[in-house]
Chain A
Amino acid sequence: MTTTAPEIDRTTAQPAKATKVKRGGVIGNTGLYLATGVAGLLFLIPFYLIIRNSLMADPEITGENWKWFPADIQWGNITEPFDDVTVDFARSMWNSVVVAVLHTSGILLVCSLAGYGLARIPYKHANKVFYLVLVTLMVPTAVTFVPSFVLVSSLGWVDSYRGLIIPGLFSGFTCFLFRQYFLGFPKELEEAARVDGLGYWGAYWRVVVPNSLNFFAAIATITFINGWNAFLWPLVIGQDPSAWTVQVALSSYMTNQTVNYHLIFMATAISILPLVFVFLFLQRWLVQGIAQTGIKG
């Protein structure tokens, strides 16, 4: 209802605008902001529900009438996931921190080096190596989880950080993105470093990396979010609850016999919190990274 009315307003306002390219008009703008506002509210509902449910008492959540806000904010709920005996939530959070941080730093190190090598170091078989990377782009990593699990389990890496982290480090896509980026890196800077007596390795660390921090930050942010939110691989590897990441722990709440609404929503809120911080502080790089890499990819 609210969205259709402004539509009409906008069309009636158009003849006046036709001469000017600049759009606007008070009515058209009101409609624009109304539509955006309604969409924005809809998008915020799930966040509102997390906060509402996590700070309510269960009888209130399941009560007869819908309550928009808790009568008494239950601050005590905050510690409940950590006291819960059925799921070791604190452990799963810690596992997620370790996995996401090491996953991100590992990918950045391994893939950026390879991307630089492919982009900049002349070698007669470089093309063949690059094709090898391109082939892996054709096969989505998720589809290969069965073979990967077979390998990791025969290495004895099930239920370990090694198993959670190492197989995911060799991302053909990230390597490809780094290669594309380094192809566009100004050659003059490296040549200057070469004149100063630095080899490829020295030039890479002293000149190329310090001048590429924006790109590294963008890739790091995206990789961290993906690492934190990954579910299928941690589910496959984390057979024992001690190796669960927070996503696997959240998933287990949904199949529990007894449902503690405020507890599982508080756990969800806590699990999202690190990423909200990442968003608040790193959004610039994130947006830039997606705009760059998404289009190039």
Chain B
Amino acid sequence: MSTTTTRGVAQPAPAKVSKDRPRRGLRAGSTFNFWLFTGPFLIGLIVFVFVPIGWSIYLSFFEARFTVTPSDFVGFENYTQVLTDVDFLNSLVTFTVFAAFIVPTTWAFSLGLALLVNRLRFMRAFFRSVFFLPTAVSYVAASLIWKMSIFNGVRFGLANTVLSWFGIDNIAWLAVPDPPWYWLVIVTLRLWLQSGFYMILFIAALQNIPRELYEAAAIDGAKPGWQTFRFITLPQLRATSTAVILLLLVAAYQAFDEFFNLLGKATWGQPPLVELYKMALGENQNYGAGSAGAVVLTMLICVVTLLQGKIMGFGRGEESK
């Protein structure tokens, strides 16, 4: 620590002394400093991100059960195993359904909350906090509340209690795949947890919309309400909406906590990461197949992100022109 500090402090001195060629001294100093600042991060990044990924690609071509230093080369066998695994393929279907539910609902819901809060004149900070507070709660804690209290399949769960007031029988929310009530549980949970976060993004974006636009629209006879929302607010929020949708999609892809805790050992309704967890860390400890699955998922998310960024990025480019 102390040696690096003195070196850092001493660094400008040579640059001052050798006035005929100050540039080289400065450049050497900055090269050293660059590595001083970024070195630790870069080493960590290589060791804990790039090496595991490389190792995992290596493992995916080997028969690797209960071992991470395999010797049995199997070519693409792990990949064919993963890609023909019904559970794994089903998990991709689950993800698609999940994303189709959660992305639009969270987008609409958080935008709605932002519009509400943004119009408040009293108690705005209070309501913003109320909607934002769930962000502090972990998915595990929320799963516990949802599973054990709100959507408990027995008589004393809140949802079943409320239904019983209307004479409706108890519903086993999480115990059976059909009818798929479990989607309601999972989607409401994530909606509750995430909306406040994206609401903050939308509020920030709403406050960046120039007031003159609304004034000009009012002079042109646009009715406040749907018309100004449709033709001013929504287009102005386009960049934020794009970012929010992308973030939501990536988050949905990585869903693990609530599925793992709500559905537990169920064989249905499991997203990709839970399948991966079972494959690599379940009873079989099949690191080969698990690695192959991880590679497949990583490639999928890269393609999705790139495609979406491209499609929406192009759209935004036209908008700004």
Once A139-B298, A146-B280 are accepted as A-B contacts, the answer to whether A110 and B287 lie under 8 Å apart by CB is: no
* B127 contacts partner chain A, Cβ-Cβ < 8 Å: yes
Once A50-B145, A200-B8, A253-B144 are accepted as A-B contacts, the answer to whether A43 and B192 lie under 8 Å apart by CB is: yes
Stretch at the interface among B29-37, B85-93, B97-105, B310-318: B29-37
Q: How far is the CB of B139 from chain A (nearest CB, A)?
A: 6
Once A142-B254, A144-B52, A202-B5 are accepted as A-B contacts, the answer to whether A114 and B68 lie under 8 Å apart by CB is: no
Question: Is the CB–CB distance between A140 and B197 below 8 Å?
Answer: no
Q: Within the assembled complex, what's the spacing in Å between the Cα atoms of A182 and B225?
A: 40
Tell me which of B37, B134, B211, B293 contacts A46 (CB under 8 A).
B134
Q: How far is the CB of B22 from chain A (nearest CB, A)?
A: 13
Stretch at the interface among B72-80, B111-119, B179-187: B111-119
Q: How far is the CB of A68 from chain B (nearest CB, A)?
A: 11
Q: Within the assembled complex, what's the spacing in Å between the Cα atoms of A144 and B117?
A: 38
Chain A residues contacting B7 (CB-CB under 8 Å) are 199, 201
Q: How far is the CB of B151 from chain A (nearest CB, A)?
A: 11
* B61 contacts partner chain A, Cβ-Cβ < 8 Å: no
Question: Is the CB–CB distance between B30 and A123 below 8 Å?
Answer: yes
- Count of A residues near B, CB < 8 Å? 101
Interface residues in A181-211 (C-beta closer than 8 Å to B): 194, 197-202, 204
Stretch at the interface among A70-78, A83-91, A261-269: A261-269
Q: How far is the CB of B59 from chain A (nearest CB, A)?
A: 7
* A136 contacts partner chain B, Cβ-Cβ < 8 Å: yes
Question: Is the CB–CB distance between A40 and B30 below 8 Å?
Answer: no
* A14 contacts partner chain B, Cβ-Cβ < 8 Å: yes
Q: Within the assembled complex, what's the spacing in Å between the Cα atoms of A169 and B48?
A: 9
Q: Within the assembled complex, what's the spacing in Å between the Cα atoms of A170 and B146?
A: 33
Question: Is the CB–CB distance between B33 and A200 below 8 Å?
Answer: yes
* B176 contacts partner chain A, Cβ-Cβ < 8 Å: no
Chain B residues contacting A175 (CB-CB under 8 Å) are 41
Chain B residues contacting A26 (CB-CB under 8 Å) are none
Q: How far is the CB of A254 from chain B (nearest CB, A)?
A: 6
Question: Is the CB–CB distance between B48 and A39 below 8 Å?
Answer: no
* B209 contacts partner chain A, Cβ-Cβ < 8 Å: no
* A250 contacts partner chain B, Cβ-Cβ < 8 Å: yes
Interface size bracket, B side? 35 or more
Question: Is the CB–CB distance between B119 and A140 below 8 Å?
Answer: no
Q: Within the assembled complex, what's the spacing in Å between the Cα atoms of A129 and B250?
A: 25
Chain B residues contacting A36 (CB-CB under 8 Å) are 116-117, 120, 127
Q: How far is the CB of B143 from chain A (nearest CB, A)?
A: 7
Chain B residues contacting A98 (CB-CB under 8 Å) are none
Tell me which of A35, A126, A139 contacts B116 (CB under 8 A).
A35
* B9 contacts partner chain A, Cβ-Cβ < 8 Å: yes
Q: How far is the CB of A121 from chain B (nearest CB, A)?
A: 4
Give the A-B contact count at a CB cut-off of 8 A. 311
Which chain B residue lies CB-closest to A166? B48
Q: Within the assembled complex, what's the spacing in Å between the Cα atoms of A250 and B145?
A: 11
* A172 contacts partner chain B, Cβ-Cβ < 8 Å: yes
Interface residues in B244-263 (C-beta closer than 8 Å to A): 247, 250, 253-254, 256-257, 260-261
Tell me which of B38, B145, B261, B280 contacts A113 (CB under 8 A).
B38
**Residues 284-300 of chain B, each 1 if its beta carbon lies under 8 Å from chain A, else 0:** 00010011011001100
Q: Within the assembled complex, what's the spacing in Å between the Cα atoms of A135 and B211?
A: 39
Interface residues in A228-259 (C-beta closer than 8 Å to B): 228-229, 231-232, 235-236, 247, 250-251, 253-255, 259
B interface, over-half SS: helix
Once A36-B116, A50-B145 are accepted as A-B contacts, the answer to whether A43 and B130 lie under 8 Å apart by CB is: yes
Q: How far is the CB of B171 from chain A (nearest CB, A)?
A: 16
* B129 contacts partner chain A, Cβ-Cβ < 8 Å: yes
Q: Within the assembled complex, what's the spacing in Å between the Cα atoms of A279 and B143?
A: 21
Tell me which of B8, B34, B200, B264 contacts A290 (CB under 8 A).
B200
* A1 contacts partner chain B, Cβ-Cβ < 8 Å: no
* A116 contacts partner chain B, Cβ-Cβ < 8 Å: yes
Q: How far is the CB of A246 from chain B (nearest CB, A)?
A: 9
Question: Is the CB–CB distance between B140 and A114 below 8 Å?
Answer: no
Q: Within the assembled complex, what's the spacing in Å between the Cα atoms of A166 and B52?
A: 14
Return 5 A-B CB contacts under 8 Å, by A number: A62-B156, A151-B48, A200-B29, A201-B5, A279-B133
Hey, which bits of chain B sit against chain A, CB under 8 A?
A: 4-5, 7-12, 27, 29-31, 33-38, 40-42, 44-45, 47-53, 55-56, 59, 68-69, 113, 116-117, 119-120, 127-150, 154, 156, 158, 161, 192, 196-197, 200-201, 203-205, 211, 214-215, 218, 223-225, 239-240, 243, 247, 250, 253-254, 256-257, 260-261, 264, 273, 276-277, 280-281, 287, 290-291, 293-294, 297-298, 301-302, 305-306
The 10 closest A-B pairs by CB, nearest first: A201-B8, A117-B37, A147-B56, A114-B41, A147-B52, A229-B138, A291-B204, A170-B44, A199-B11, A199-B8
Hey, which bits of chain A sit against chain B, CB under 8 A?
A: 10-11, 14, 17-19, 21, 23, 32-33, 35-36, 39-40, 43-47, 49-50, 53, 61-63, 66, 110-111, 113-114, 116-118, 121-123, 126, 129, 132-133, 136, 138-140, 142-151, 153-154, 166-167, 169-170, 172, 175, 194, 197-202, 204, 225, 228-229, 231-232, 235-236, 247, 250-251, 253-255, 259, 261, 264-265, 268, 271-272, 275-276, 278-279, 283, 287, 290-291, 294-295, 297
